[in-house]
Amino acid sequence: MRHLGAQLVEASSGRCIIEVPLSEALMQQHGFFHAGVSAAIADTASGYAALSLMPDNASVLTVEFKINLLNPADGRLLRATAQVLKPGRTLMVVSASVDVLKGQEVLRCAEFLGTVFTLRNTKDDGSFAASGARS
């Protein structure tokens, strides 16, 4: 996430928002955000949303996801908003919407659906989460 310049904007119970500003390193050949950036922030936001509902001695591991790319990510900022749809003891189903901001316009560019696994008796180091949640 540091490589992308991503920022954790919100982390609360079952929810997470991550944003990343546009940079040349993140563009594809037409000057849009690369789809891999959308997938990466959607996956990470979904993981943190799920982690917020796990026991203290657990960490998260994505086991599968699907992403539908709806529109080109043509803008200055990409935002993934994730929500746990179905919490479970071992597996959780999560979703994320990815929006691109261009001027005053907000356009949905991707929808993500994934499943994450609870890794018990492990602990994420929290280095990304600790680096900038504003709420």
Q: What is the pLDDT of residues 116-131, one digit of tens each?
A: 999 998 876 655 555 5
CATH code, 7-124: 3.10.129.10
Q: What is the pLDDT of residue 122?
A: 80
Tell me the pLDDT of the chain averaged across its residues: 92
Closest to 8 measured CA to CA, from 47, 36, 39: 47
Q: What pLDDT shows up at residue 12?
A: 95
- What residues of the chain score a pLDDT lower than 50? 133-135
> According to the model, what pLDDT value does residue 134 have?
40
Provide the pLDDT for residue 133: 46
As a whole number of angstroms, the distance between CA 29 and CA 20 comes to 18
Q: What is the pLDDT of residue 48?
A: 96
